[in-house]
């Protein structure tokens, strides 16, 4: 099938490449000309494991192309995906102006029947607004359907997730649109769940919020562990063996970050309130997440007393491993707080360094993880990259002025660390 994707970011680029790999003829459109040029020259604007190879393979097979205008997207795709950003506004509501702008542009270039798919994460009832907007700005009598098809991929494993979906949610109103979406996802037909548009939109917000709730729950339990002397990793393991609970998303740490959970929980609270429901439970999830960062900073202060002029090495800047994305990264907030308190921060991240430089001033970026440690009074671990887990402890000790580690991701064993002579604190243990 011919598929167009509008917005070639983390979701759009992965989706376009995956559709191409499934045998469809995909056109990815972005109004960021620099990004499109990079892609056309074979360079990746983001780091995502396996994506570069997938894009190269499908470009060579001529199943994946790039363009800059929505006109081209509308001419090409029978199915047109909206994958633009829906970033948070200060009020907590998502900024839907990109979705609105794209919908108007789609209307302008709607000359034959098209299925317009909202893949961007949006509040319930947005589909109705997209439909109204397209109807209003398109020529009278234009034929189209609006479908909701939320995305569930995780950054860092997006390609693998796309080829192994737990479910593909399709919110559609007409049989024609449902059939086209099922044909598009033919390879995963047994994973397709067809529902109405509003339920589809809600599945996305409810899923992300539930996962965030799981994280805040285990972080709250971690606090009880610290107060009582229990070990949260053992508690989580014991809980997770119950199949009704499951082991995933029970890792205590610095709280959830990234471009989605914080934004989507905020947006779900916001739309609930607008609809007349106070989602107090989720407001508590947000609060616990916020406090978790403060608790981490307090541990650093307890180890160093005054932070002014103390040398602090920070390992990890990305919001999670295997991505270069630093949006809403707990690590960035920690670096900024330490900097503001007068500490001399040296940070390193294997992939997120360049993005971090554009949002974080007043700290030093190290060329590698070892350089960050030289003469450090304390090492703060903020992202659980594998290369940090496998680090040589003798080398860490030799480089640091004082072998003190505050680990926000529980990557090492506290007993072993103590044996090796480190002052080591982690989360909930």
Cα separation, 204 vs 198, in Å, equals: 10
- Binding segment for ligand NAD (CB under 6 A), chosen from 1-9, 218-226, 235-243, 362-370, is 1-9
Confirm or reject binding of residue 155 to ligand UGA (CB under 6 A): yes
Single residue of 152, 163, 188, 210 touching ligand UGA by CB under 6 A: 152
Decide if residue 123 touches ligand NAD (CB under 6 A): no
Q: Which does 31 bind (CB under 5 to 8 A by kind): ligand UGA, ligand NAD, none?
A: ligand NAD
Candidates 118, 151, 270, 377; binder of ligand UGA (CB under 6 A) is 151
Is residue 424 a contact point for ligand UGA (CB under 6 A)?
A: no
- 262 near ligand NAD, rule: CB under 6 A: no
Answer with the entry of ligand NAD, ligand UGA, none that 251 interacts with (C-beta below 5 to 8 A by kind). Answer: ligand UGA
Kindly state the number of chain residues that form the binding site for ligand NAD, as judged by CB under 6 A: 27
CA 170, CA 181: separation in Å to the nearest integer?
7
Q: Kindly report the number of other CB atoms within 10 A of residue 40's CB atom.
A: 12
Using CB under 6 A as the binding rule, whether residue 148 contacts ligand NAD is answered as no
Give dist(CA 277, CA 283) in Å, integer.
12
Rounded CA-CA distance 185/2 in Å is: 13
Smaller CB distance to ligand NAD: residue 181 or 265? Answer: 265
Has 225 been annotated as catalytic?
no
> What is the distance between the alpha carbons of residues 170 and 41, in angstroms, rounded to a whole number?
34
Q: Where are the beta strands (DSSP E) in 277-362?
A: 311-315, 344-348
Give the shortest CB-212-to-ligand NAD separation in angstroms: 13
Which among 45-53, 246-254, 349-357, 386-394 is the span making contact with ligand UGA, rule CB under 6 A? Answer: 246-254
Please identify which residue in 257, 352, 403, 408 interacts with ligand UGA, judged by CB under 6 A.
257
Decide if residue 83 touches ligand NAD (CB under 6 A). Answer: yes
**What is the footprint of ligand UGA within residues 286-305 (CB under 6 A)?**
none
Q: First CA to last CA across the chain, in angstroms? A: 53
Task: Show Cβ contacts of residue 85 under 8 Å, excluding neighbours closer than 6 positions.
Answer: 7, 9, 95, 98, 120
- Main-chain phi, psi angles of 106, to 5 degrees: -60, -45
Binding piece for ligand NAD, criterion CB under 6 A, among 30-38, 51-59, 195-203, 305-313:
30-38
Residue located via tokens 């570069």 = 52
Q: For residue 32, state whether it binds ligand NAD (rule: CB under 6 A).
A: yes
Question: What torsion do the CA atoms of 316, 322, 326, 329 make, to the nearest 10 degrees?
Answer: -60
Reading the block at residue 206, the tokens are 């409810």
Q: Which tokens hold the place of 154?
A: 């995780």
Active-site option among 28, 192, 260, 335: 260
d(CA 398, CA 379): 13
Residues 201-230 within binding reach of ligand UGA (CB under 6 A): 208, 211, 215
Q: From the list 29, 236, 304, 331, which residue makes contact with ligand NAD (rule: CB under 6 A)?
A: 29
Contact between 5 and ligand NAD by CB under 6 A: the answer reads no
Q: Give the whole-angstrom CA distance, residue 377 versus residue 311.
A: 5
The β-bridge relationship of strands 311-315 and 344-348 is: parallel
115 neighbors 144 (Cβ within 8 angstroms):
yes
Tokens 């616990």 -> residue: 288
- Site pattern 314..353 for ligand UGA (x: CB under 6 A): -----xx---------------------------------
CB of 143 to ligand NAD, least distance (A): 23
Give the binding site for ligand UGA (CB under 6 A).
121, 151-155, 208, 211, 215, 249-251, 253, 256-258, 260-261, 319-320
Active site amino acids: 260
């Amino acid at each position: 099938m011919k598929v167009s994707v509008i917005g070639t970011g983390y979701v759009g680029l992965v989706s376009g490449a995956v559709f191409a790999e499934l045998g469809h003829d995909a056109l990815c459109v972005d109004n960021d000309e620099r990004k499109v040029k990079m892609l056309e020259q074979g360079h990746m604007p983001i780091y995502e494991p396996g994506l570069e190879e997938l894009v190269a393979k499908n470009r060579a097979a001529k199943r994946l192309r790039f363009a800059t205008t929505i006109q081209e997207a509308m001419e090409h795709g029978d199915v047109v995906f909206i994958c633009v950003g829906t970033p948070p506004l200060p009020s907590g509501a998502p900024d839907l102006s990109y979705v609105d702008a794209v919908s108007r542009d789609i209307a302008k270039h709607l000359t034959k029947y098209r299925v317009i798919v909202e893949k961007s994460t949006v509040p319930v009832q947005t589909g109705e607004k997209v439909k109204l907007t397209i109807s209003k700005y398109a020529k009278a009598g234009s034929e189209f359907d609006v479908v909701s098809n939320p995305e569930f991929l995780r950054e860092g494993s997006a390609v693998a997730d796309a080829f192994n979906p737990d479910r593909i949610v399709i919110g559609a109103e007409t049989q024609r649109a449902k059939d086209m979406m099922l044909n598009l996802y033919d390879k995963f037909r047994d994973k397709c769940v067809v529902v109405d548009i509003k339920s589809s939109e809600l599945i996305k917000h409810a899923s992300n919020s539930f996962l965030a709730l799981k994280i805040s729950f285990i972080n709250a339990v971690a606090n009880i562990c610290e107060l009582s002397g229990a070990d949260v990793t053992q508690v989580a393991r014991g809980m997770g063996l119950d199949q009704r609970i499951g082991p995933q998303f029970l890792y205590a740490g610095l709280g959830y970050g990234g471009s989605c959970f914080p934004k989507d929980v905020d947006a779900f609270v916001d739309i609930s309130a607008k609809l007349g429901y106070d989602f107090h439970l989720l407001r508590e999830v947000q609060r616990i997440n916020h406090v978790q960062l403060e608790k981490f900073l307090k541990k650093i202060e307890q180890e160093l007393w005054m932070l002014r002029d103390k040398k602090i090495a920070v390992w990890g800047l990305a919001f999670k491993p295997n991505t270069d994305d630093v949006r809403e990264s707990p690590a960035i907030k920690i670096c900024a707080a330490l900097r503001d308190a007068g500490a001399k921060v040296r940070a390193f991240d294997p992939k997120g360094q360049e993005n971090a430089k554009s949002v974080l001033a007043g700290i030093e970026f190290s060329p590698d993880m070892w350089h960050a440690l030289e003469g450090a009074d304390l090492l703060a671990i903020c992202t659980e990259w594998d290369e940090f887990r496998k680090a040589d402890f003798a080398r860490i000790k030799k480089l640091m002025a004082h072998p003190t580690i505050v680990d926000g991701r529980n990557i090492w064993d506290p007993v072993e660390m103590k044996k090796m002579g480190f002052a080591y604190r982690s989360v909930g243990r």
